[in-house]
């Protein structure tokens, strides 16, 4: 069995308002996406890494991220699509030598605080089920709102906040993405594509520090994590 990591990093980062795409912003002197890739590069369980970026940024990513940080497991940089889902499908299609039972980890390029332990648990869970979703229990009460009116208050103990990585066997996730493309269905995450085909995806406990850096406030929080003794991956 082979383990393949897909790292979507094709977002434009409009909410960050930084002038460059968020994945290339520096976090304590190191680009965010480089810190993310470094965790998978260091994992003995991960065999290959595919980074997905906007087509115009491929030369920059190759030079400033992959080459500069000597990432030996990165097989190629894949051009992204109009939406994240399209980018992931491009990544899946770029993996030409995978078997049906190889495990694919799909992880946001701007989640640099993922841990080796969570990666291991996601891989193990994907081997014995239709998929693994890293998530954490919601701390706040969630309201279902429609036209500014509260329609429902789901029991908080049933609500989990999805994170990444999400892990699947290659055959399952490739089929789910191809089916969604064929039917022009756009999901909010990869797990939802497997779920809609009847797949059973199991939850793996995540980490509240495994944040997705999308706003200036997130970047401040990430710097605080490192200052407070977070993992330095330079």
Half-sphere exposure of 97 (CA within 13 A, CB side): 7
The DSSP code for 23 is G
- Residue 151 falls inside a structural domain: no
pLDDT at position 232: 46
For residue 93, the enclosing domain spans 3-132+162-227
Per-residue confidence (pLDDT) for residue 19, from 0 to 100:
59
Say whether 103 sits in a helix, a strand or coil.
Answer: strand
Could you tell me if residue 142 is inside a domain?
no
Q: Which residue stretches of the chain have pLDDT < 50?
A: 232-234
Enumerate residues 6+ apart whose C-beta is below 8 A from 15. Answer: 214, 215
Give domain status of residue 188, yes or no: yes
Q: What is the pLDDT of residue 234?
A: 41
The rounded distance, in Å, linking the Cα atoms of 104 and 60 is 25
Cβ neighbours around 68 below 10 Å, total: 12
Is residue 145 domain-resident? no
Q: Is residue 137 part of a domain?
A: no
Tell whether 156 is covered by a domain: no
Residue 216 forms part of a structural domain: yes
Q: Is residue 90 in some structural domain?
A: yes
What is the rounded (10 degree) CA torsion for 12, 68, 49, 17?
-10
DSSP E strands, 128-193: 131-137, 144-146, 149-152, 160-169
- For residue 145, what pLDDT is reported? 98
**What's the chain's length in residues?**
234
pLDDT digits 0-9 by tens, 167-196? 999 999 999 999 999 999 999 999 999 999
Number of domains present in the structure of the chain: 1
CATH number of the domain that 53 lies in? Answer: 3.90.550.10
- Residue 228 has a pLDDT of 87
Helix residue ranges, H only, 19-109: 32-42, 58-61, 84-94
Please tell me what DSSP assigns to residue 135: E
Q: Cα(3)–Cα(44) distance, rounded to whole angstroms?
A: 10
């Amino acid at each position: 069995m082979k383990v393949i990591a897909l790292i979507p990093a094709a977002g434009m980062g409009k909410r960050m308002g930084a002038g460059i795409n968020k994945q290339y912003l520096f976090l304590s002197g190191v680009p965010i996406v480089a810190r993310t890739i470094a965790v998978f590069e260091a994992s003995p369980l991960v065999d290959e890494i595919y980074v997905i970026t906007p087509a115009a940024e491929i030369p920059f990513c190759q030079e400033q991220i992959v080459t500069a940080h000597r990432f030996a497991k990165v097989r190629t940089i894949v051009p992204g699509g109009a939406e994240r889902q399209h980018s992931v499908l491009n990544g899946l299609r770029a993996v030409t030598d995978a078997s049906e039972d190889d495990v694919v980890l799909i992880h946001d390029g701007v989640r640099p605080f993922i841990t080796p332990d969570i990666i291991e648990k996601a891989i193990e869970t994907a081997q014995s089920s239709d998929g693994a979703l890293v998530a954490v229990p919601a701390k706040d009460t969630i309201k279902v709102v429609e036209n500014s009116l509260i329609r429902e208050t789901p029991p908080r103990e049933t609500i989990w906040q999805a994170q990444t990585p999400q892990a699947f066997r290659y055959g399952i996730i490739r089929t789910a993405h191809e089916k969604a493309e064929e039917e022009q269905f756009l999901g909010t995450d990869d797990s939802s594509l497997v779920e809609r085909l009847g797949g059973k995806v199991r939850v793996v406990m995540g980490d509240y520090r495994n944040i997705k850096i999308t706003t200036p406030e997130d970047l401040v929080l990430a710097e605080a994590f490192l200052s407070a003794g977070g993992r330095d991956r330079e």
